[in-house]
Copies of this chain bind each other. A is one copy, B any other.
Amino acid sequence: MTNRKFGKNFPPKTIAIVGVSRNEILNHPGYTGLKLLHILQEGKFPGRIYPVNPKADFIEGMKAYPKVSAIPEPVDLATITVPAALVPEVLEDCIAAGVPTVQICTSGFGETGDEAGKRLDERLREIALRGDVCVIGPNCMGFHVPSARMQMFENVPLEPGPVAFLSQSGGHSRTFILNASHMGIGISKVISYGNALLTDAPDLLEYLGDDPETRIICMYLEGIKDGPRLFDLVKRINLVKPIIIWKSGHTYCGARAASSHTGSLAGSNEVWDAFFKQTGAIRVGSIEEMTEAAMALLRLNPSSGNRAAVLGAGGGDSVAAGDIAVEEGLTMPPLSPETRAKLLEFVALVNQGISNPLDLPTAFGYHTFLKQTLDLLTADPVIDMVIVRLEAEFFKFREAFSAIAEFERVILSKTQERGGKPIAVAVTNTNKVEPSEPHARELRQKGILAFSSLRGACRALSRFAAYHRFVRESSATP
């Protein structure tokens, strides 16, 4: 007998929340049942919600039930928030009621490292494997499904789309939801599965591989129990749906924190290095990097290479730009002689430079120069993609408003060219005068692929190119 496969009656139409008190416990550090109820209501969840509390008849005007098996219709999802010691009994009742999916929010199990926690783990495992139930958690936040108006946190956007996120951490799930919205990426499913006592990353990944709503899969992993199964699934699914993974706990100290956080064993770096090399999954180091890579994969057509041209203003910053682009895995060939010759027809080399990276202040003052330069760069056969770097300070000055409008118009028209090469804007804030992120976000909302740092842009485009190269080479091999 095994843990039931995830996905029956999901997304749910009926949800029981077990452990809803009549009054919120002041400043409770975790998420209480009442809070989860309010969160579902805030999102206008269209299904039916059943609060479960053996000591109350009504909670906030809703009828309460003493246990899940007393609810008068089939329950698709039960969310457990009662103290750890009471969880086994509630789980038994959920099984008796035929609930297909049980999410255990409660913490205080194996992750504490003590004997009582480990014994509770054993009991849960034994109960779950006897029944026909899929258990998510414990120590988890559960589900965020915008298309079903299910949300995991208060005050978060509910924007449906093709990107999924699997995470042992609830905090990172919230960060992902907020970052994705910021990047203009819609979400299919976010699943926070905590300690992964029974349902682990491979089970959920398998579900997302078949989920028609999901086109890109992001994962935050602290540890994994069945490495070979994860490997096989990632290797297969990644060729169809790009998989972006943040594996944390790769230092001794992160590993110690992972053990205390979700009771996970982080695994050796060598194993993970081989994992990424052989599966072709995209390895990232933060939620920001994850959503930046997802944005590039979502917005750009498959690219044939990683040869970039970087266009900006400022000599010292151009030297730094060359270093950053190469550090992040892009190659930067010199422009072809034809491109150089054509550039020199309208570019003076006083305080400017047309080696790659290009240092061309005039391109940012005169939109016709910018257009001509971008036309030449994208037409150059040695260039696969163009990154335009722009200091956020540029947006600050009133007199620059018309220049910015022209800049945006030129970039957008180049972006929309049929079959055009990728063009990205990196808004930088090297001088600390003006934060870059709000301006990058505005550009994104206008349809431009924009990043809030040059390193972020180079990193995402490099990963984007590496992914497509891997897929191409894999399909070429018999």
User: Which chain B positions have C-beta within 8 A of A437?
Assistant: 429, 432, 435
Contact (Cβ within 8 A) B316 A260: no
CB distance from A385 to the nearest CB of B (A): 15
Contact (Cβ within 8 A) A359 B254: no
Q: Does A249 contact B (CB under 8 A)?
A: yes
User: Which chain B positions have C-beta within 8 A of A353?
Assistant: 257, 260-261
User: Which chain B positions have C-beta within 8 A of A319?
Assistant: 169, 222, 248-249, 254, 257-258, 261
Contact (Cβ within 8 A) B316 A256: no
A122-180 residues at the B interface, CB under 8 angstroms? 167-172, 174-175, 178-179
Contact (Cβ within 8 A) A361 B321: no
Tell me the nearest residue of chain B to A261, going by C-beta: B315
Could you say which of B29, B167, B349 contacts A352, with CB atoms under 8 Å apart?
Answer: B29
Contact (Cβ within 8 A) A29 B362: yes
Contact (Cβ within 8 A) A254 B315: no
Known: A112-B349, A349-B112. Contact between A257 and B321, CB under 8 A? yes
Counted per complex, copies of this chain come to 2
User: Which chain B positions have C-beta within 8 A of A260?
Assistant: 315, 318, 353, 355, 359
Contact (Cβ within 8 A) B220 A316: yes
Q: Does A203 contact B (CB under 8 A)?
A: no
A contact residues, range: 35 or more
A29-76 residues at the B interface, CB under 8 angstroms? 29-30
Q: Does A27 contact B (CB under 8 A)?
A: yes
Cα distance A438–B438 when bound, in Å?
13
User: Which chain B positions have C-beta within 8 A of A251?
Assistant: 322-323, 326-327
How would residues 276 to 309 of chain A score, 1 for a CB under 8 Å from any chain B CB and 0 otherwise?
A: 0000000001111000000000000000000000
How would residues 320 to 350 of chain A score, 1 for a CB under 8 Å from any chain B CB and 0 otherwise?
A: 1111011100001010000000000000111
User: Which chain B positions have C-beta within 8 A of A268?
Assistant: none
Q: Does A414 contact B (CB under 8 A)?
A: no
Could you say which of B326, B334, B430, B433 contacts A288, with CB atoms under 8 Å apart?
Answer: B430
